[in-house]
Chain A
């Protein structure tokens, strides 16, 4: 921060390029917030589990026979070995692969091989009273999504998300079903060569919609967008353009979300701090998870849900949408002319965003780089997000 020139808006440029900042964020943001862990159907039956990396912690979530979820740090108390792999079903106990120490689904240590011989002095009480049970974490559900927090006494999830809830769409994700192109794979997953905050700032930047996406997102009426902040979270809504709205029943690519009121058709696109966006539109409901991998690398995983109706309904809707005149004039034209392999000519808004993010990241190492100006409305969210990041780190650094 010694050189005032090298600033983004509120954060220094090094916050987007340095290992030092990456580590600070891992410790004080991603290890001290509720972290997206999946969708509730990922842990459907008793004994099913998933494990996720949440900042510095690897946490697994398992469902008990009482239908309540439990979360534990995925780490054997013996020598720390990670216990569980990504996903699994119907587990009755958790055994460490290294020395077979075994825990029950309440995280209690229930067996140690050769206990008497090898650990005669460990403790003379029951195993689960020896202080070697799994470290507990927290898990809760918000809008059909699973969230974990490394602290077993985490502040309750609604004190974190409650403020933004009224601004979210009417969608009930629990009632929708996941749309997968390939079985057990998310709708979209891609490593982007940009800092995670560049990705977030792109997501919450209203100013770029009418420009970068002039030919791809023009079924939404950007001029009528309503957006702002609720706590550390960003909320955004914009209606459909009249042309699309007029033919929505035919033009929609998927069956319409039944919870969308006809007089408020549009897209809700909130960003929940720190790293999970939701895209709640007239026909789909998506999670957009930005996972920092390195100062200049971010994995984006999108999962998509649509109406729980028959294949036939989808086919009918697809046919109607294909033949709707609406798409002749809007929705899928690239900004540049050219080959579809060029993101800017692809007609795919996601490819356009990735391109813009990567192009911006490239310039951050230039000694000539600086942010020249900020659109006071359309880019307000960008600097606001940076101050939320900054304040969160400062607050939690001082608490430590």
Chain B
């Protein structure tokens, strides 16, 4: 099982009005453990108001650059952890961090010759930035075509870094900004770069089709990476599939949190039997709690990291009874058919349920 390590915060930088990036100091003996692929995330653990909470944050740094591990965190309205990070963390603090993980990453190789289409919006830039930098630096012949959606000029994370990359790799890096509510008064930052322009609107079906038509691939081995909030991922994927982009060339990362309001009612005080780390636990599931939370509150140590239905770390097998998952962005239909569930998303629907962590 993956453990947490205490990492010291090397530096904190305000990126935009409502986002911050955090750089970690990884001691040399942990280099190997914290090695990562561009696109992967870290899981951070905090204790806030007496409760242990974990959240995942994608690395926006590149493993091939001599730079510290860095994450970018955008405030979520009323969000517990994102605001805690933005408000309270400072250089020198230590944070419990689980080593990098995740299935969303680019397999970057020196000799590859590809066209990478990168679609991102808002905080979804983080894993995309890591892929972008790694590809440009490593694959001298590959092309990157990127579209980045934001609300306005001011909310573009890593704008300076992106501009510098665009300048340096202008022959094979295309970057288009699209803004849903552009400011007519250009900010100072905006004015300094001569040619920067943007498209109006979101990263939606029209934008995706326009972009792929405007910038056809030169290298024919094209791959499509998508990360962003809300319906952006679904919309982008749908647009790509509507123009016959094969499924196996599309890669997505969801940050969760966008599930529509779920009104499914749990079975009150259902009995849970859980087989975990060789122990059999019997306990009632309080109203409003997930299977995972119930176990954590009882002092048990079930595996989990994102608690958002994305990473599948909390996966277990349902051996009797029925459950409902609020959000499932990790398990395939086949896995669900075989009885696998995400315990962080599961609420009971029957009087008793039994699960087994493998």
Chain A positions near chain B (C-beta within 8 angstroms): 64-69, 105-106, 139-141, 156-159, 162
A66 with B240, Cβ < 8 A, contacts A139-B220, A156-B113, A157-B113 known: yes
Classify the interface of chain A: helix, strand, loop or mixed. loop
A106 and B141 form a contact (CB under 8 A):
no
Assembly CA distance A141 to B141 (angstroms): 13
Assembly CA distance A157 to B112 (angstroms): 10
Identify 14 residue pairs between A and B in the complex whose beta-carbon atoms are under 8 Å apart, listed by A's number: A64-B243, A65-B244, A66-B212, A66-B244, A68-B220, A68-B222, A139-B220, A140-B219, A140-B220, A140-B221, A156-B111, A156-B112, A157-B113, A158-B141
B113 and A66 form a contact (CB under 8 A):
no
How many B residues face the partner with a CB closer than 8 A? Answer: 18
Contacts of B218 in A (CB 8 A): 141
Assembly CA distance A64 to B113 (angstroms): 20
B257 interfacial by beta-carbon distance below 8 Å: no
Identify the interface centre among A67, A141, A159: most chain B CB within 10 Å of its CB: A67
Identify the interface centre among B111, B219, B220: most chain A CB within 10 Å of its CB: B220
A106 with B220, Cβ < 8 A, contacts A156-B113, A158-B113 known: no
B244 and A105 form a contact (CB under 8 A):
yes
* Smallest beta-carbon distance A133→chain B, Å: 12
B339 interfacial by beta-carbon distance below 8 Å: no
Contacts of B240 in A (CB 8 A): 66
Please count the residue pairs between chain A and chain B whose beta carbons lie under 8 angstroms apart in the complex: 44
Assembly CA distance A158 to B218 (angstroms): 12
B192 interfacial by beta-carbon distance below 8 Å: no
Contacts of B321 in A (CB 8 A): none
Identify the interface centre among A65, A66, A157, A162: most chain B CB within 10 Å of its CB: A66
Contacts of A106 in B (CB 8 A): 244, 246
Assembly CA distance A159 to B221 (angstroms): 14
Per-residue CB proximity of B239-255 to A under 8 Å, as 1/0? 01001111000000000
Besides A67-B216, A156-B113, 17 more A-B contacts (Cβ < 8 Å) are A64-B243, A64-B244, A66-B222, A66-B243, A66-B244, A66-B245, A68-B216, A68-B220, A68-B245, A69-B220, A105-B244, A140-B113, A140-B219, A140-B220, A141-B218, A156-B112, A158-B219
B213 interfacial by beta-carbon distance below 8 Å: yes
Contacts of A67 in B (CB 8 A): 212-213, 216-217
Contacts of A141 in B (CB 8 A): 218-220
Q: Which of B89-144 contact A (CB under 8 A)?
A: 111-113, 141
* Smallest beta-carbon distance A15→chain B, Å: 32
Identify the interface centre among A65, A139, A141: most chain B CB within 10 Å of its CB: A65
* Smallest beta-carbon distance A19→chain B, Å: 35
Assembly CA distance A257 to B56 (angstroms): 54
What are the nearest 3 A-B pairs in CB distance?
A67-B216, A65-B243, A158-B113
Q: Which of B193-252 contact A (CB under 8 A)?
A: 212-213, 216-222, 240, 243-246
* Smallest beta-carbon distance B177→chain A, Å: 21
Contacts of B112 in A (CB 8 A): 156
Contacts of A156 in B (CB 8 A): 111-113, 221
A162 and B141 form a contact (CB under 8 A):
yes
B111 and A159 form a contact (CB under 8 A):
yes
In the complex, residue of chain B having the shortest beta-carbon distance to the beta carbon of A165: B141
Assembly CA distance A68 to B240 (angstroms): 12
Contacts of A157 in B (CB 8 A): 113
Contacts of A159 in B (CB 8 A): 111, 113
* Smallest beta-carbon distance B276→chain A, Å: 39
Contacts of B213 in A (CB 8 A): 67
Assembly CA distance A106 to B241 (angstroms): 12
Contacts of A69 in B (CB 8 A): 220
* Smallest beta-carbon distance A213→chain B, Å: 36
